Amino acid sequence: MKIGAPKEIAPGEARVALTPDSALQLQKLGHDCFIEAGAGKAAGFDDAAYRDAGVNVIDGAKALWDAVDTVIKVREPSEEEAHYLREGQTLISFFWPAQNEAMLETCKGQGASVIAMDMVPRISRAQKMDALSSMANIAGYRAVIEAGNNFGRFFTGQVTAAGKVPPAKVLVIGAGVAGLAAIGTATSLGAVVRAFDVRPEVSEQIESMGAEFLFLDFDESQDGSETGGYAAPSSPEFREKQLECFRAQAPDVDIVITTALIPGRPAPKLWLEDMVQAMKPGSVIIDLAAEKGGNCDLTKPDERVVSDNGVIVVGYTDFPSRMATQSSLLYATNIRHMIADLTPEKDGVVVHNMEDDVIRGATVTHQGKSPSPAAAQG
């Protein structure tokens, strides 16, 4: 099979779905690898590195799409790219089918198969393909780095000849992959870290990383095992308890990192304007839910804003792309594992096995047809 990665065309996107290392691994599976000229440059991989790894470098996006059997991408295709697809071809990328129904219909109409990396089931066997977790891990780490870039003080406390410097106080809301990465990074920098999550079972993870878990005096809680590890909407009563807790924290903390997302819904508003007003001037809010509307009232996607009382609110939506080399290495590995599952005999022959729960769960259209009801449940 011929596998190719075009250059990402979304504004500001610096990641690439094929690295020289992942290409070497794909070739061991019997595949030929192709890449559009310049596709890896923003991520730190030049065309010469690909050629040294045995990758065919092709000029032009259309020529690349025409040359390969399977296209691997980071972002969902544009309208033009979707029309490049042909019958029998396969696209593997982030796709977000629920938010891109028209795009899905276009790909289906082209007779192509689409595997959405955002639909990989969160089960143990699929962890090596879990691109959402790979990118969330990077976003959580980068959120702390971005907070430090905007915060005017040390993270760690210091005692110097010029006086004592207190450690920064960091609150992380949401202890999924991104939240845990943020907690680990902030504690390693010496901050005093507190964290909140609606799932009490994550308290042990949080405390094992040296952070304080904020418990609510409330009977309602969520079992992450029942929601695939994701948070679910809370009752109005529970939400009020949450907000009461956050209001108590607002005057004391220096940095807030919010990560709360609910699949298929806008991001819940958890850090309200009155909480921003209660924070000290120079405090920082990093909203990792900005792309879905943000957890903070003042968040503006892709912007850095300063409130009337001097609180900095960062709503960047491209944290993984801001670490494009690392992100590309991890994402390309996720893609490589997916293709390995599609190549069971390691002979370059792809078997799109819809009986396989991982492949079935990630497939949003196969050879121009909708998956069966069983596939939709995957």
Q: Which two tokens stand for residue 53?
A: 């790894």
What backbone torsions phi and psi does residue 39 show, to the nearest 5 degrees? -65, -30
133 is catalytic: yes
Q: Which two tokens stand for residue 181?
A: 């990465």
Catalytic position from the list 89, 110, 113, 133: 133
Catalytic position from the list 51, 122, 125, 304: 122
130 is catalytic: yes
Rounded Cα distance between 217 and 343, Å, is: 51
Q: Are 20 and 49 in contact (CB under 8 A)?
A: yes
- Which has the closest alpha carbon to 258: 300, 293, 215, 287? 287
377 is catalytic: no
Q: Are 188 and 165 in contact (CB under 8 A)?
A: no
H or E element that contains 65: helix 61-67
Q: Which residues of 97-126 are buried (b: 16+ CB within 10 A; e: fewer)?
A: beebeebbebbbebebbbbbbbbbbeeeeb
Catalytic position from the list 46, 188, 205, 230: 230
Token pair 């143990």 in the structure block, residue = 124
Rounded Cα distance between 218 and 37, Å, is: 57
331 is catalytic: no
Rounded Cα distance between 189 and 129, Å, is: 30
Catalytic position from the list 52, 78, 86, 127: 127
Q: Are 272 and 243 in contact (CB under 8 A)?
A: yes
Catalytic position from the list 32, 118, 130, 318: 130
- Where in the sequence numbering do the catalytic residues fall? 122, 127, 130, 133, 230
